[in-house]
Copies of this chain bind each other. A is one copy, B any other.
Amino acid sequence: MKTLVVHAHPEPKSLNSSLKDLTVSTLESAGHEVQVSDLYAMNWKAVLDAADYGLDASQRLKVALDSGRAFESGALTADVLAEQEKLLWADTIIFHFPLWWYTMPAILKGWVDRVFTYRFAYGVGEHNETKYGERYGEGTLAGKRAMLSVTTGGPESQYDARGINGPIDDLLFPIQHGILYYPGIEVLPPFVLYSADRMTDEEYQDVAKAWEQRLLTMGSTEPIAFRRQNFGDYEIPSLRLKEGLEPAGRTGFGLHVRS
């Protein structure tokens, strides 16, 4: 296994950072190759701007067009190119981050904004009567697998089916489906630690064991059954889910996971 670990926490002694260290040691001990993108340690530039594509102040920035042009001409900045190369090298990608305001920290969002360029992560493939580009199950990163390792401050009950924050699967859907599955990555069920600020050292031992197990069984873990775009489930080009595919009355993000 070739694993890219993408880590986004400012404190090296945090729970997230401990789990990231555990990921590296566990996978290396098992004979796998590992590369780490520790975004805080790398001082990752979070903010996408015209300088990313070599534009000067007189030129109007169009993010999709300009990022695609820079990608195709090899003119992306070295930091972004290095991350795209790591993604192409890896067969497995693991993300470690705390849920801040119900999504990823800005530094990780900025990694997505800058690395997932047009022609690399979107704007890939032909459009015709049976195909609307290569995305949602196809694309540049098809065949790879990813898994999120996430911590929350709040307790689990607030993230369950009737919990006030909304179900964790729905909160993670824009990341797991909208960011990762979009360019073709299969996504394994997430590893979520609730009430992370209140965890004792003893509880951490159990958590560490559970996480090691998740890592060592990744090869036999079933990915989330997101529906593929171009294989009959969606009308083209509206990309609405065809009628009859889900029980009447079912709504929301869950429609896009096969029951």
Contact = CB atoms under 8 A, between A and B. Distances in A.
B249 A252 contact: no
Interface string A225-259: 00001000010001111000000011111111000
A73 to B, nearest CB: 20
Contacts of A173: 166, 170
A136 B164 contact: yes
Interface residues of A, number: 65
Nearest to A66: B11
Nearest to A233: B164
Given A49-B10, A113-B100, A163 B106 contact: no
B256 A164 contact: yes
A109 interface: yes
Copies of this chain per assembly: 2
Contacts of A13: 60
A163 to B, nearest CB: 6
Nearest to A179: B101
B102 A174 contact: yes
Interface stretch (A21-29, A40-48, A213-221): A40-48
A157 interface: yes
A36 interface: no
